[in-house]
Structure 1
Amino acid sequence: MNLRHTAFSAVFGAIAATLADRWGRGLAQGAGAILTLHHVRPRGEGGFRPNGLLEITPGFLDMTLRLIRAEGYDLVSLDEALVRLSAPRKGRFFVALTFDDGYSDNVEQAWPVLAKHGAPWTLFVTTGFADRTARLWWLELEEAIRVLPAVALALPDGPFSARAGSDAEKQQAFDRLYWRLRKQPEAILLAAISDLAAQAGIDAAALVERECLPWETLRALAGAPGVTIGAHTLSHPMLAKHDAAFARREIVEGKARLEAELGIPVRHFAYPVGDPTSAGPREFALVREAGFASAVTTRPGHLFAGHAAHPHALPRVSLNGLHQSEAAVRALLSGLPFLLWNRGRRLSVG
């Protein structure tokens, strides 16, 4: 666990110890929150799990939904969330659930839990994952480092090398390389990880086949009660790293492809990666022009009245696999960690 996650753990513990999640609600809770989830599945084995923050267990999801209901909060769809932003219901805090990318475990593991609690949810689908043409490059990186005893790459900004014998060394190698590549143009990131995957004998297409929902299942899912399908581009690029024509194509054609394949209107969008280096004002405008009713980022925060004027730059709250505890959920739903993280700002739309 890196320093950022260690700090969040300390904040969650302090909020729980002081019961601030109860007496501090009025300070930071706002109208509602949109939760971000990726994988829902039993906990994997092994000490090297660099993408572990992207997966929670079905039991933790069940506990989270029970807590939301017990607190008297409303579980709503994204459509209803937009309505409530425009016409708030005093004293009725709401929570919307969103799942990014289109993973098979969302149907196999998460949906039964969601149905048990009558919880509506939105699945943001990258069409290239359903087509088996896009790449889960963060998983390729993990799997390659898991296999290799050492990492060596020639990068445009200089060579990279790291030992990867123990789990701790593998984690350190992953963190160093991941963040170094995230600073590069996406073409360099993809080429470097392709090189590393080839060294390790990793089949990128097989990873997508293993992890992601096929079109047949998505067609069956479309129109199911409580399920909303949203768009997540054609190939999951960090849009802000590309020119406007490329970004527009990913947004517009991703929407059109989903609507053609599933036979339903697609009203909501999620920005891949979704932080300020991946989605900003240009992307917000492109998504609005494409006709989406809303779009969600991964900028951390709750929803406030001011977000009604910025429905294409909505913040979310990550249900993080590194913090699977009741104390963490209570803290996240209080909004207090984001009051601190955002230094008192309620809106982050620039």
Structure 2
Amino acid sequence: MRSDEYDRLYLSPPHLGRHELNYVHKAIEDNWVAPAGPNIDGFERDLNQYVGTQHCVALSSGTAAIHLGLQLLGVGPGDEVLVPSFTFVATANPVCYLGAQPVFIDSEANTWNLCPMRLREALEERARRGKQAKAIIIVHLYGMPALLPELLEIAAEYGVPVLEDAAEALGSRHRGQALGSFGQVAVLSFNGNKIITTSGGGALLTNNGEYARQARWLSTQAKDPAPYYQHSAVGYNYRLSNILAGIGRGQMELIEERVKRRREIYALYHELMRDLPAVEVGPTEPAGTRSNRWLTTILLRPEHTERTPEELRQHLETHNIESRPLWKPLHLQPLFTSAAVYGGQVCADLFTRGLCLPSGSSMTDTDVRRVVKALQEML
């Protein structure tokens, strides 16, 4: 098959709906094109209502939200922050922005998220060295809820605050409670590949009013209350624009539809590959949780195939289908060769065996079958 015989299937393209233009046109008509305005206020209200938090600050990216969140938790030069190794580098980069050091923690095999046993091991071992972690970052990878009861209990036991990285997990829930509402601060991402998008953007969520006030201040260049430009602290240009917030408002009207469709896509992949012994579609949801299934992922079983994820990726490309390896663990990145790591074997194995498949909510069932058919040619 020639790669141009079919339209390209992308991994997770933007999926705009019916109402985004209404908010964008209104912003332009009213000349609200700056990083302030009614769309930002409305978008923050929408997110608070959906997630169940009291305060939301709309920002230019999820990375900006992590940066500010860590700063609000007091992270600074020389501090240590415990970070999952199995995540995108944007989770750890803001630790470095602040002059702190990431300490990487392995995954557990079921959800692929932060391992409670390894987290406790790291906290105990750092404590023996006289080092108290300044913060713990919990990531909900690919929209899958982490083992929150265990992780939050350990964090509370050691008195370490939690930043909840829900960048991939808007629409996911744990025992009915929305992810993004569990940490002292939490972050969302609205990058173009996320379950909803503002093209680029993010948000910081919290129930702490002072944190929210500080985040707004820092995100607008930390301007002091004065009739002239006075600054007593370093600030950032991190606020979301009113136009992009309008896209977000339209997207939020469709969030449950988007989650429903992503879950249907995962279920169809799972059904179509049920009898393919070389493939495991995962991870599986823990009891009492709902994943938004942002990306459907597979693991190859080496006992049933000698194929590699890279061979599958290249084969899918010949069918004009985009796929992507699972995250390369951060402790294996050249950037972090000197960082401490606890475990690492689980996430390294996941990276070696895993592949992300096209999962966008605009995919049809025929598109999913096309991907599976191409995989079956190799497996």
TM-score band, normalised by shorter chain: 0.3 to 0.5
Q: Which has the higher helix share?
A: 1
Larger Rg: 2
Normalization by structure 2: what TM-score? 0.32
